[in-house]
């Protein structure tokens, strides 16, 4: 018997077409890009540019996964991982910039 309360049994990871992941990933990408653009005038603008590139690349990977991988768990898992990597890369860049700003003062 399946336990529908398990994280791996959610509709977003089992039966979704992937549009949810693209919409939420796009919103997250816009927020992350906005923060990184604001940090372009900080102590480490190169890190902010690298973070912007990473955000775009991970979102593009999500779009490519939606188009290239057939429907099912595998496509949804790849898109979820892409969204997680998008968020993690932006967070790491913000933390590096925060550390550089603290050292510079």
**Helix, strand or coil for residue 72?**
coil
pTM to 2 decimals? 0.86
The structure tokens 């490519």 sit at 64
Q: How far out from the chain centre does Cα 25 lie?
A: 6
* Structure-block tokens of residue 34: 């906005």
| First vs last C-alpha separation in the chain | 59
User: Could you give the angle at the alpha carbon of 67 between the alpha carbons of 21 and 57, nearest 5°?
Assistant: 65
Q: Are 20 and 78 in contact (CB under 8 A)?
A: no
Question: Per-residue pLDDT for the chain (105 aa), expressed as one digit of tens each?
Answer: 566 667 666 666 667 788 899 999 999 999 999 999 999 998 889 999 999 999 999 999 999 999 999 988 899 999 999 999 999 999 999 999 999 888 876
Map out the domains of the chain as residue ranges. 17-104
The structure tokens 């955000």 sit at 55
């Amino acid at each position: 018997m399946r336990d529908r309360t398990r994280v791996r049994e959610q509709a977003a990871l089992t039966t979704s077409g992937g549009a949810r992941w693209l919409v939420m990933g796009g919103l997250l990408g816009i927020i992350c890009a906005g923060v990184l653009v604001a940090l372009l005038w900080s102590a480490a603008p190169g890190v902010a540019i690298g973070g912007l590139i990473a955000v775009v690349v991970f979102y593009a990977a999500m779009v490519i996964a939606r188009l290239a991988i057939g429907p099912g768990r595998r496509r949804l898992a790849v898109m979820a991982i892409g969204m997680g990597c998008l968020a993690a890369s932006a967070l790491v860049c913000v933390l590096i910039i925060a550390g550089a700003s603290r050292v510079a003062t």
